[in-house]
Structure formats: structure tokens, C-alpha cells
Amino acid sequence: MNPNSLAVYITSLLWLNLIDAKIGYFWHITDLHYDPFHNSQEFHKGCRHNRANVDHNHRNGRHRDHTCDSSWPLIQSAAALMAERHPDTLEFVLWTGDILSSSMEHLSEEVKLEAVRNVTDILSRTFSSQFVFPALGHNDPPPSKKLVDMWMQWLPTEALQTFQTGGYYTIEQSHSKLRIIVLNSVLWAGGAARTDGPHRGRAQWEWLEHVLSKARRKSEMVYLVAHAGPGVEERHNAGSASAAGGGELTPTANARLLHVIRAFSDVIAGQFYGHRHADTFRLIYSEGRPVSWALLAPSLTPRGSGSISNPGLRLYKFDSNTGKVLDYTQYYLDITNTRGELHWAIEYNLTQYYSLREISATSLDGLAERMLNYHDRTLFTKYLTALRVRHTTDTSDCDATCVHVHYCAITRADYHEFRACVRNPASALASRAPHTSAAVLLYAILIIISS
């Protein structure tokens, strides 16, 4: 077959695949961190600045900034955007936890449940014809009969049973070969693993492997969904055992989840997580080959534990027959605009923004490699801009070693491999970026000391 005929043949196959595909959409919203006291005399509890600034912002009607968690008007504006941009073929909504602000941590379960009910009600009105699939975050109330009663409108009986006992469940799509598995990552986090989590955490492992084996037998494709997923943050010490709390997985749980993902990579069509308040992705490898990917959505709250960002919402486009993710549109809200308006806008489309032909482990691995180009920072600058949801485009504080740490976080989901990755390249980085060699070596020394 000559090259021209081959090109025509490949194009025909692509068109046939597009014709056969049933295009659907789903929203991914995460980390609302709703603060019911945002507009009250208790307004300062969910904020990190001093009381004088809070009073000033409150009097002037600015119920949002980068030092405070989400106000009710911010949540209303997010719901309004999702209702306005409602595709006719919207299939479902992924809602991946941390519904409540950490300022509510010491309040009663009744108060927390009432706040969760308020958010549930607005989502019910926004998505009256769609199912919302919630995952629990570490700021949220634990599984209970009251939560079951609140969310039974969205979950079938079988899912409600496992949710009430462990906070996890699976959804079998009746009209397609796509199965959604919602995990309770809190059971595998540092605090829960030491207290009430061990038994339920073990039960979740057994259940997960059983459901994945069943999906393989039935030729189903699977979405893994949770609040926190495997891997580390971009901060250089995030891979240490001491940094595994606060919703992150313990080193043991992280390693086991990676093992499960590798073992069932043939049926896992995608992984969707929140928690990090950042727009990024993670790759899982088996014998050096990329076999699975995870996309992390940015938070609705502009307040972050490590770095701040603008509020974000994400709309996925996918083949609802197979679960293959085709693209997503990232929306953002610039909360620093001087007019004080809640104006959401499109930030970017994934395939266009990064010039991807498809969304796969192989294509995202290629993207990670291209971002590592120390001589041309254009692509990495785009990544950092998206990471912070356009909060700032200043990347001057991220030197060559900083770039490499981001690369290690994306491509080394195992904690030990991440630490080895950031330690290893000190001399290579110095030779690639001679004008910053002193800074590179100092940064590497700090990494080793802090680990």
C-alpha cells in the first residue's frame, strides 16, 4: 500500500470511529470547601487574613478572595454556569469531595450535615435530570444513614449499601459498557488508617479488586473516582511518609493502589481526582511503559493549603459507549476582577491547549517529556498557568530544578520513586542549565535534607 493510500485508509478508520462513538459529557466539580459563615459575624473563621481586612471586604460586598473558602454566592455562581452550559447529552456529574470548609471541623455533625444538604439541594436543582456521583473528602461527614437518605436520589440500592458501610460504591451504566467506581480515599489516608479505618480500608481493597475482576469478565471499561488519588504533590517533600496525612494516601495504600491500577490497566479507562486544588495530571507505568493516567481537577474554593488559585469547573467530553475521554473544557473565575462580578469564562480545551491528538497514557507521557525541555519554557509556562487556574503567569520563581520536580510528580506516583527522581538529576540538571547550576545544587541538597 502506498503512503497516500495508507493515509486515506487511516483517515477512513478515524471517521468510522467517530461515527460509531456516542458523544456524551460529564461535569467534574471538586473541593467546594463551603463556608456557611462567610457572610456572617463568623466570616473570619474560614479566612487566612486579619480581621480588619475581612471587615473591609465584608462591608464592600466582596464575599470572595484568595484567602477565604467558598461563599454561598460563589457556589450559586458555579451552579448557574453549569446550568447555562448544560449539554443535551450530559450523562452525569462527578463530585469529588471536600464539600465543607475546614473552618467547620469542630462543629457538630448536625451542622455539617445541614451544610451538605444545602449544597446537595442546589446540585439537585441544577441537575434535575442527571445523576450526581459524590465521593467523600477528609473534610466531609463520615458515611451515615443521614447521608444515604440525602443522596439516595442519585444512587441505586446496591451502591447505597456499600456507601453506608464504607463510603464507596460502584455504578453500572445500563446503556453502555462503562462502570464508575467511587472510592473512599479517606479510609486510606494517614489519620483514618490509624483510627477507625483499618477494617473498612481492608474491606474496600477486597471490594475494589472484586469489582475490577467482574468488570474484566464482563468486558466493561472503568472510571476510578475519588477525592485523593495516588502520587505526590509538586512540593519537594510531598513524597515523604510524614506528608502522607491530610487526605493523602499512606505510603502502603499508595503502593497498593498503584499495584491494582497496573494489574487492571486494561479495563481502567480513566481516573478522576481532586484534593490538590491544582490542575495537573499523573501517569502510572508498568515496566517503563505508560499504562494509565489520572486527571486532577482544580478546586472551586480559591483558598489552598500550598498555593492559591482561581476557582475552576471542568466539563468532559467522552465516548459514552466505551468511556474513552475525548477532551475537556476548563472553566475558571477570576475573583480579583475590579468590578467584583462573578464572570466565568473558558480557560482552555485540553487537546488544543497542549496540542494532543488524543487523551491516553502514551500521549500524556509525551506531553510530560516535552514539558521537561529546559531550553524552551513555553509549554511548561502554559502548564504552570493552568496549574494555578490563571491566578498568576509569573514563572520566574520556577528554575530548572523546579521544572524537574514537577516532572517527577507527574511521572513518579510511587513515593520512593519520586524521592529518587528528585535526588538523582542534580548534576545533569546543572549541565543542562549552567546559568542556574548553583541554585540547582542547593535545591537538590535541600531536597535530600528534607526527605
What is the full DSSP assignment across 209-227?
A: HHHHHHHHHTT-EEEEE-S
* Burial (CB count within 10 angstroms: exposed 0-12, middle 13-18, buried 19+), residue 145: exposed
pLDDT of res. 304: 64
CA 199 to chain centre: 26
60 pLDDT exceeds 80? no
Q: What is the band of 53 on the pLDDT scale with cuts at 50, 70, 90?
A: very low
pLDDT of res. 3: 53
Among 40-54, 159-173, 201-215, the least confident range: 40-54
pLDDT of res. 427: 37
Edge to edge, the sheet with strand 312-319 lists: 131-134, 90-95, 23-29, 312-319, 325-333, 344-349
Q: What is the mean pLDDT of residues 286-300?
A: 96
97 pLDDT exceeds 90? yes
pLDDT of res. 233: 81
Beta-bridged to residue 55, according to DSSP, are: none
pLDDT of res. 2: 58
pLDDT of res. 336: 75
Q: Are 92 and 155 in contact (CB under 8 A)?
A: no
13 pLDDT exceeds 70? no
Q: What is the band of 439 on the pLDDT scale with cuts at 50, 70, 90?
A: very low
More confident residue, 192 or 303: 303
The pLDDT > 90 percentage for the chain reads 57
More confident residue, 19 or 216: 216
15 pLDDT exceeds 60? no
Highest-confidence segment of 39-53, 248-262, 418-432: 248-262
pLDDT of res. 450: 46
CA 254 to chain centre: 16
Find the DSSP H helices in 90-151. Answer: 109-126, 145-151
Q: Are 293 and 25 in contact (CB under 8 A)?
A: no
- Read off the pLDDT of residues 323-363 as tens digits, 9 standing for 90 and up: 999 999 999 998 877 665 578 999 999 999 999 999 999 99
Q: What is the band of 62 on the pLDDT scale with cuts at 50, 70, 90?
A: very low
- Read off the pLDDT of residues 404-434 as tens digits, 9 standing for 90 and up: 899 999 999 999 999 889 887 653 344 334 4
367 pLDDT exceeds 70? yes
374 pLDDT exceeds 80? no
Backbone angles phi, psi at 221, to 5 degrees: -105, 150
Q: Which three cell numbers stand for residue 447?
A: 531536597
| CATH architecture, range 22-450 | 4-Layer Sandwich (3.60)
Q: Are 430 and 437 in contact (CB under 8 A)?
A: yes
CA 264 to chain centre: 21
Q: What is the band of 45 on the pLDDT scale with cuts at 50, 70, 90?
A: low
Secondary structure of residue 243 in the 3-state scheme: helix
pLDDT of res. 170: 98
What is the enclosing helix (H) or strand (E) of 349? strand 344-349
pLDDT of res. 437: 43
pLDDT of res. 36: 87
- Read off the pLDDT of residues 213-250 as tens digits, 9 standing for 90 and up: 999 999 999 999 999 999 998 764 444 433 333 338 99
pLDDT of res. 248: 81
